[in-house]
Structure 1
Amino acid sequence: MNLRKQREALEELMLSPHAARSAASKGRQRPEREDPLRPAFQHDRDRLLYCKAFRRLKHKTQVFLAPTGDHYRTRLTHTLEVSQIARTMARALRLNEDLTEAIALGHDLGHTPFGHAGETVLDKLLPGGFKHHQQSLRVVELLEKNGKGLNLTFEVRQGIAGHSKGKGPFLPKRGDKTKLTLEGQLVRAADVMAYIAHDTEDAIRGGVLKRSQLPKPVVKVLGSTLSRQINTMVKDLIAQSLAAGGAVLCMRPEVEEAMKGLRGFLYDRVYENMEVHEDFIKASKVVEELFGMLCNPQYDKTYREYLGGPPPAKLAERQRAAADYIAGMTDRYALNMYQSVFLPHPWGRM
């Protein structure tokens, strides 16, 4: 028996009856020889960790645009915090940690530069719209490895595509049918837990909020600091899910309501706060003008220079390629490209 099969046998012994099994995966986009060392979901986790799109997350906005302070979150540190929270809960519930971590590492790969400001612009400009969770799936299925994709398992791709919830519910109500694995549902919940806690902390650090301004009902249930908030949410989901038998994820209503309350508060006071929003308007202009330039035949030379080939003849294909290219940019790459294309360069001879 090779090491992979030993690990798969351990999964059968140790995991909850409700957990996903690597050996029972619905498979990959393209058949390939199984790894002798790693089960399928662990192999996927490793592929995501080493892909280029994952490395670019370190210079993509979480809340504050292109932050110069060392301690503000970026899209990469957010992803790592989601992964840690999700794995902690998965271990306690005896779910598949490798699958959970793989989904968490891949869930935000499709985010644009400048966070949701960039996403909003591309959603307006691209025919058919643009959503970061759909782009994350496109990254792993098509764009990585020069158009070959990462050839991930169905369960990981499903979890990446299904992680987004916007302002909607982050846990299915009891009795609601969902196609997501419990591991995929766990990442949805961990994503909310991570960003409402750490975005609050960053907003306080950035002077956008004061801790005393946090809603009293939220503070009463969750606490006022990041560590207490994360601790309360994680422990509650674990305890309530185990008490319900482990087949569904659930939380006490008051904890769920407090999480929704903090999320709503952040939308009102931080995400749409004018002190932050002014920079987002500028960032939106950068994305909009870059997209327009890449779709304009007058800039064919620039298109070839940056994308490494001739532009597609059909406008819809050119727009799709422009959106893919812009979505993959880091904040600083987008700003540098904008400066190079649209701003004059100093010139002169000594």
Structure 2
Amino acid sequence: MIIRQQTQEIEKNTLHPRACLSANTRGRQTPEKEGDIRTCFQRDRDRIIHCKSFRRLKHKTQVFLAPKGDHYRTRLTHVLEVAQISRTIARALRLNEDLTEAIALGHDLGHTPFGHAGEAVLRKIHPGGFDHYVQSLRVVDVLEKNGSGLNLTYEVRNGIIKHSKGMGKILSDSPNDMADTLEGQVVRISDVIAYVNHDLDDALRAEVIHKKDIPDDISSVLGKSHSKRIDTMVRDLIYNTLETGLDKITMSDGIMAAVNQLRSFLYTKVYESAKLKEEFHKAENIVQSLYTYYAEHAGLIPNVIDKDKAYAAGDGLLTHVCDFIAGMTDRFALMNFEKIFIPQRWTVF
């Protein structure tokens, strides 16, 4: 028996009956022979980690634009925290950790430079709008590997496209909003657990808010420290889900209410704060200016992908521009903006 088959047998014998077994995957868009060591979900995880879009996440904003401190989160540290929380939950529930990790690591590959400020601009000016979760799926399906895509399994792709909720219900009652697998649903809520806690931590560090600003009814339920809040949320999710027999991923009403209150607090006091909005407006101007410029000078977009592969019938010039802008890191966007729009100093000898 080859190693992959041994792993699949271990999954079958040890995981929960409702876990997604790698042997039962719905497959890839383009069928391919599986390896003799790694399962399909392990290969998906590795393909994501080694792709260029994943590496660029280290220079993409989470919340704070171009922070001077070394300890602020980036989009890369965010997905790593989501992966850690997701794996903790998946292991406790005897779900497939490899599938959970692959979804977590790939869920934000389509995020724009400057975080949600960049996304808001593209949503407004790009025909048909823009959503980072749709772009994340486009990255793995089309844009990576010189326009060939990563050819991931259905389950990972489904988890990526279904992870986002905005200000909607974290755990929706509508099957259309939720991932088909419990592993994908775990990532959806782990995304929230991660960002409400690390964004709060970063906001305190940046002195956008202070500890006294956090409502007492949030702290009394979730805890007063970063680690305590995460522990409260994760433990509540695990034990309440176990009580359902894994019929659904769920939290108790009291903890879910506190999580939603914390999320609303962050939107009001942090994301919409005057200090951040001032910087967001600057970022929005950069993204809009670059989009307009490259729409008129598309020939200057580096030829880093095979356009015949990446742009099938119906994909036009502005899609090419949008892909280029969305793939930029913060510093690459700033560098291009400066090169295009800021007069260069003359060097006098």
Flag whether TM exceeds 0.5 (same fold). Answer: yes
Question: What is the Cα-based RMSD across aligned positions, in Å?
Answer: 2.1
Moved over 6 A (4+): 174-177, 305-310
- Given that residues 174 and 248 in structure 1 are in contact (C-alpha distance below 8 angstroms), is that contact kept between their aligned partners in structure 2? no
Letter in 1 for 2:337: Y
Which residue of structure 1 aligns with residue 275 of structure 2? 275
For 2:346, the equivalent position in structure 1 comes to 347
Partner of 1:18: 18
Q: Residue 251 of structure 1 aligns with which residue?
A: 251
Where do 1:113-152 residues align within 5 Å?
Answer: 113-152=113-152
Q: Per the alignment, do residues 338 and 247 of structure 1 end up closer, same or farther by CA in structure 2, a change over 3 Å counting?
A: same
- Give the drift of 1:182: 0.3
Residues in 2 aligned to 1:106 and 1:306: alpha-carbon distance in whole angstroms:
21
Match of 1:214 in 2: 214
Deviations 1:258-303 (A, max 9, x none): 000000000000001110110110000000000000111xx35534
Distance in 1 (CA, whole Å) between partners of 2:246 and 2:315 is 46
Pair 220,300 (structure 1): closer, same or farther in 2 beyond 3 Å? closer
Q: Partner amino acid for 2:330?
A: D
Q: 1:156 aligns to what SS in structure 2?
A: helix
Instruction: Give, in angstroms, the shift of residue 308 of structure 1.
Output: 9.6
Offset, 1:326: 0.6
Q: Alignment partner of 2:189: what SS?
A: helix
| Partner in structure 1 of residue 99 of structure 2 | 99
Counterpart Cα distance in 2 of 1:52 and 1:177: 29
Shift of 1:224: 1.9
Matched, 1:266 2:266: yes
Pair 1:337 & 2:336 matched: yes
Q: Counterparts of 1:93 and 1:170 in 2: how far apart (Å)?
A: 19
Partners in 1 of 2:302 and 2:294 — Cα distance?
Answer: 10
Aligned residues: 346
Distance 2:177 2:333 in 1: 41
Q: Is the CA contact 1:58–1:77 (under 8 Å) kept in the aligned structure 2?
A: yes
| Aligned CA distance change for structure 1 residues 175 and 50 (closer, same or farther; 3 Å) | closer
Alignment of 1:144-183 (within 5 A): 144-173=144-173, 178-183=178-183
- The residue type equivalent to 1:246 in the other structure is L
Change over 3 Å in CA distance of 1:219–1:319 after alignment to 2: same
Question: If the length of structure 2 is used for normalisation, what is the TM-score?
Answer: 0.95
Counterpart contact for 2:108–2:133, Cα < 8 Å: yes
In structure 1, the partner of 2:184 is 184
Letter in 2 for 1:346: R
SS in 2 for 1:83: helix
Shift of 1:44: 0.4
Give TM-score, length-normalised by structure 1.
Answer: 0.95
Q: Give the Cα–Cα distance (whole angstroms) in 1 for the partners of residues 10 and 343 of structure 2.
A: 62
1:58 match: 58
Change (3 A) 1:141 1:304: closer
Distance 1:300 1:176 in 2: 37
Question: Cα 1:346–1:120, aligned 2, differ >3 Å: closer, same or farther?
Answer: same
Say if 2:61 and 2:75, in contact at 8 Å, map to a contact too. yes
Percent identity of equivalent pairs? 52
**Displacement of 1:349:** 3.5
Unmatched 5+ stretches in structure 1: none
Partner of 2:76: 76
